[in-house]
Structure formats: C-alpha cells, structure tokens
Structure 1
Amino acid sequence: MPVHVYWGDDTTALEHAVTDLARKVLDPAWESFNLQRLDGQQGDGATLALTTVRMAPFGGGGRLVHVASSPFCERCPPELLAALTTALPRIPHNCHLLLTSVNKPDGRLKSTKLLSNVATVKSFLQPAVWDRQGQRQMVQRAARAAGVTMEPAAEAALAEAVGSDSGRLAGELEKLDLYSDGNTVTAEAVAALVGTTSQTGLQVGEALLHNRIPTALHLLDELLRTNEPALRIQASLVSQVRGWLWVSLMTAAGEKDAQAIAKAAGFGNPKRVYVLLRQVRGCPPKRLQQLLTALLELEWSLKQGTPPGQAFREHLLPLAQVRHSG
C-alpha cells in the first residue's frame, strides 16, 4: 500500500527523502496537479488529505499527498481514526499518502498500530552532540546519497567539523565535491575548506559551564575569526545551557527517570540525559540560570548592533565574578 510515515528531527535529511519520493511518484509535467501539501495541525488538513489521496491522478505519473506535522501518530481523535481506517484500503495504487512529523510515532495509539501494518516507516534522527559515531555515520550516509567519495580520514574530519548539523553538512559536501572535481575527497581538502565551528562551539559551552571564562572568550575569538555568525554561536550556546538547566532542575527536584527528563526537555534520545548529568555534576541550577540570562541578554545586545567581540566580553566576563563571589 502506498503509505509512508517519515519522522525525526533531522529536517534536512527528511526533506531530501520527501523530494526523492516526489521524484519517484510524480510526472514533472503534471506535478502542479498531483502534488498536495497540507498542514496536519491546521483546520481539517488531515481529513482533507484522506479524501484527496483517494482521487485518481491527473495525466501521467501518480499523486502524492503530503501531510506535514501529521497528527495521526501523536494524538489521533476517534473521528480521525475512523476516517483513516476507512481511507487506507481505498487508496489507489498510484496515489501515495506521506505523513511527516518531528516526533516519534506513539506506539500505544490505534492509529499508529494501523499505519505500522501498511506503511513504510523511516526515521531521520540527528545524532546527539556527544554521539561521535552517529555523526560519522551521518556523514557517510550523506556522502553516499550525494555520490561523493571520501577518505576515512576526511569523513572523520568532516564529522568533527559539522557535528550534528545536517544542513551545514549538505553544503560542505557540495563544496568539497566541486573542490575535488569528482575525485575522492581528502582530509587535506576538508581542512582547507571546512572550519571546525561545531566542536569549538561545544568547547565554548563547556568552558562557560566550568567557569573558564578566559578560555571561552579565546574560543569565541577563534570562531569569530572564521566568520561564524555571532547570533548562531549565541543560539547554539543557549541550546546547550537550556539542556543542562532542564536536567539540573529536574534532578534537583528528585526526578530520576531519564525518559521523563528527556520528554520534558524535548530530547529525542534519553541517553543524552546521562551525558548531561555527568557534565552538570557539581554545578547548581542557579549558576546555569545566571548563564542562560547572560546569553539571552547577549542576544539583545548583538541585535542592537554591539560588535560581537565586545558583546561577548560585556556579558560573559561578569559571570566569573558572580561565581567567585557566590
């Protein structure tokens, strides 16, 4: 049955998969007639999709109905479940229903069980910032998909440089392929073309966590010299600190279940909780709250036009004094 369920937080890889499916299903000459994109969270989008996908395609090729932010595997009310049950057996062989979502399908739902029996289910998960092996595998998959051949050392260097950022990975692979003129990409090519902003950014966060403010500022200067946007650095640091703060607050409140902490913090992988727990050991929630406040004030300063180097120093240097006096 032509039903597909794609889910995961690696939106770049997921969108590539959606594009690939569209190429296989649709006749380019009839694409505007046979491709429907609906928002499953808006109005009757989900119900409309179940009606549309049962209509024969126009002209050549097939029909593709894509429901983004699909509700079918997350919170499917009885009336929507009934409509899904009725529609699935009646979908023509040349019509495809594609359901996409960031969240993992809830296996407890009747709708999820129904779909799992008939649909092609694929996951697209970004590796965690601490998952080096997962990041290396992400590089390997992306390189294969792009038709780019890489030396093992080049794979490792690129994984270290981009971390879990699949969007940046796609751009870097394109540059490396052009630079190498279709030949095998070497570690030297990666060193010449790709910065190491991902891992350096993580090091900045860890330095701030442990109150090594001079080290953090030095690393920030390196990032700025490589033309890394200051607001992107700030957003990455906010994401790190928020994760630490969630784990710190919940464990301080007595929560020990990693699954519960991961769900509350919005982590896709509960294993990440154990890593963050080790990182924040000995760091009180108050310290993390002060750090998060400083980073949010830093964002305002950058958006007001303060030079990045000056803004980072003005908002991060006082943290060392707070820690010392506390």
Structure 2
Amino acid sequence: MPIYLFWGEDDFSMAKAIKALETSAIDPNWASFNCEKISPDRSNPLTDALNQAMTPPFGSGKRLVWLVDANVTHQCSESTLAELERTLPLIPESSILLLTTHTKPDRRLKSTKLLEKFAQFQEFSPIAPWETKLLTQQVQKFASQIGVKLNSEAVEVLAEALGNDSRSLFSELEKLRLYTDSDSHIIKGEDVSRLVSGSAQNSLDLAKAMRAGNTALALGLVAELDRIGEPPLKIVATLIGQFRTWLWVRLMMAQGERDDKAIAQAAEITNPKRIYFLRQEVQSLSVEQLAATLPLFLELEFRLKQGANPLATMQSYTVQVCQICQK
C-alpha cells in the first residue's frame, strides 16, 4: 500500500517509523531526487503532495512524499475532498505518500473515511503510565531491536524508571548495550538500577512520599522536579499510574485474595513477584484512602491543562494527598 497516515504525540517512535519507511523505499544514491518533505506553510501543501506522489521516481528505488502536519483528517473542503477522490486511487506503486499529524483523525469526516480505504493508519501515542504490561512490552521490543538481553527484573526496572518516554528508553538501552561484554550477557535489574537514571523514578519517589503522608519530603521532591524541568503533566501521569496500582492491590487484599498471580493480573503487573512488596507498601492504607486520591490527581491534571501555576498547584495538591494518607 503506497499511502500511509501516521498520527500521535510520540514523536520519537514516529520518527523511527518514518526513517524505516524511507530506508526500505528510497535508493540512497537517488535520495535527494526522490525524497520530498512538504511543510504546512506552503500555499497548498496537499495539492503539492499529491502532484509529487504522481510523479515517477528518478533512477532506481521509489519516491517518498511526506506531508507534515496534515490537517485533511480534521477539516476538509469539498474541493479538497474531490481532489483526494480523484488522485488517491491513481497513486502509483512506485510512490509512497506519507501524511503525519499529532491529532487523532476525526473518523466522522468524509476525507478520513476516504483515506481509510486507501491508506494504512498507524498510531504513535505514548503509552499510559498505568499500562504497565504495555510498558514492559515496549521495553522488550526496543531491547530486541537493539540486541540487548534483559532478565524479567531488568525489564520491570526500566519500565518503572522511564515510563512512556520512548526516546530516553532507546537511549538508555543503547547505553546498556555498550555495557554488555558479549552477545550472551544478560542484564539484570541491579545493573539497570546502577546505570540508568530515569526521570520517572523521581516521580515515583514523590508517589512514595505522598503514600507515606510525608508532606515535607513530598514538597521537597516537587521542588526538585520543578528545578530539573520535569513536565508537571508527566509527573501527574506517573502519580496516577502508581496510585492506581496501589489501589488495585489494596482492593484485592481487602477482598481476601491471596494469590499473587491473580492480584498481578488485576493490577496489570507483569511480574507477580512484585506483589509481595506492593502488599507491604499499602497495608497501612485503606481502600477508601487510596480511592480518594485519584479524583484529586484528575482535578490536578485538569487545572494544569487549564493553565494554573504549575509549582503552586502541584504543591497544593501534594499537601492534600499527603493529608489523606495520614488519616
């Protein structure tokens, strides 16, 4: 299929996919002639992209036409729709038309429905911090691509330390690959803890301080995260994920569940061995306390998105969560 639509906010993963598409299609000797990147500031970028895609490639290989920040799946005039209907079925196999956008396509639009008939859609959205199974799968996928062998504990530590930051994950795995002294060397969790410093780890320290009701320590960590420039919404996402995990574990304990595998499955934790430690962490808190924190985090996220002062707002809600956990 010569037409692709990539969408989502994970710029690093999308860039890797675009590079792979370019490498597979373009003859490097003819890249300057057959690789066209069209920016949205042109007078009519979509028409330019369609015209370029209809042009046969020079020399060997295929032609790649990349339309950046395409808005055709968010708004589309009748004339543009007619142009798409006329051109998309005629794009030759010797060309690849790539459209990229950060925003999820509006599947109600006729233009989006038309593209779905001719294009391959691929999503590049960051994994939600509480999707621990998907995070560990991403670690395993990247490790396989790079050629790094990790044991299950190392996978867990990386997923916890770096969260959904795919760029940092890839970079740290490259570092770990240089650390290994042979192809058969298996990296352990203790190796990752010693060599990888993840920003998500600082947010997890904040979550632990909140859970313990240690207001002074928690406020100090908020100030430190602000000092190093950690995005507040990213911090909140990590906090939501961690408190959600604690809530699931505590809820299963309250229901009398003793099987660690069953608890791990409910909490979407890949390694059931973690349940022993999670039990210890939440035994002093009630289900009601942990459940009461999540609406506060969602309210905090909403206020930050509305433009509230990041540091002051984070401090205010940190105190409230600590007070809940102190009761």
* 1:80 corresponding residue in structure 2: 80
Normalised by the size of structure 2, how large is the TM-score? 0.69
C-alpha deviation, 1:61, in angstroms: 1.1
Report the CA distance shift for 1:211/1:67 in structure 2 as closer, same or farther (over 3 A): farther
* 1:124 corresponding residue in structure 2: 124
C-alpha deviation, 1:21, in angstroms: 0.2
Aligned length: 268
Secondary structure in structure 2 of the residue aligned to 1:106: coil
* 1:281 corresponding residue in structure 2: 295
- Given that 2:74 and 2:106 are in contact with CA atoms closer than 8 Å, whether structure 1 keeps it comes out as yes
* 1:140 corresponding residue in structure 2: 140
C-alpha deviation, 1:103, in angstroms: 2.0
Structure 2 Cα separation of the partners of residues 279 and 294 of structure 1: 21
* 2:195 corresponding residue in structure 1: 193
Report the CA distance shift for 1:5/1:85 in structure 2 as closer, same or farther (over 3 A): same
Residues 65-96 of structure 1 deviation map (CA, whole Å, 9 limit, x = unaligned): 01121212222222221111111122121110
2:216 to 190, 214, 217: 214
Report the CA distance shift for 1:193/1:92 in structure 2 as closer, same or farther (over 3 A): same
Residues 23-62 of structure 1 deviation map (CA, whole Å, 9 limit, x = unaligned): 0111111111111111346531122101111101112211
* 1:295 corresponding residue in structure 2: 310
**Stretches (4+) displaced over 4 A:** 205-212, 282-290
Secondary structure in structure 2 of the residue aligned to 1:281: helix
- Given that 2:22 and 2:64 are in contact with CA atoms closer than 8 Å, whether structure 1 keeps it comes out as yes
Structure 1 Cα separation of the partners of residues 101 and 296 of structure 2: 37
Amino acid at match of 2:27: D
* 2:93 corresponding residue in structure 1: 93
Structure 1 Cα separation of the partners of residues 164 and 312 of structure 2: 26
Normalised by the size of structure 1, how large is the TM-score? 0.70
Which structure 2 residues correspond to residues 1-326 of structure 1 after superposition, within 5 A? 1-40=1-40, 42-181=42-181, 182=183, 183-204=185-206, 212-219=214-221, 230-233=227-230, 235-236=231-232, 240=236, 279-281=293-295, 295=310, 316=315
Report the CA distance shift for 1:285/1:105 in structure 2 as closer, same or farther (over 3 A): closer
Report the CA distance shift for 1:63/1:194 in structure 2 as closer, same or farther (over 3 A): same
Amino acid at match of 1:214: A
Q: Identity of aligned pairs, percent?
A: 33
C-alpha deviation, 1:203, in angstroms: 4.7
Query: Which of the pair has the greater relative contact order for Cα pairs under 8 Å at 6+ separation?
Result: 2
Report the CA distance shift for 1:50/1:237 in structure 2 as closer, same or farther (over 3 A): closer
Structure 2 Cα separation of the partners of residues 198 and 133 of structure 1: 17
C-alpha deviation, 1:231, in angstroms: 3.7
- Given that 1:201 and 1:236 are in contact with CA atoms closer than 8 Å, whether structure 2 keeps it comes out as no
- Given that 2:146 and 2:177 are in contact with CA atoms closer than 8 Å, whether structure 1 keeps it comes out as no
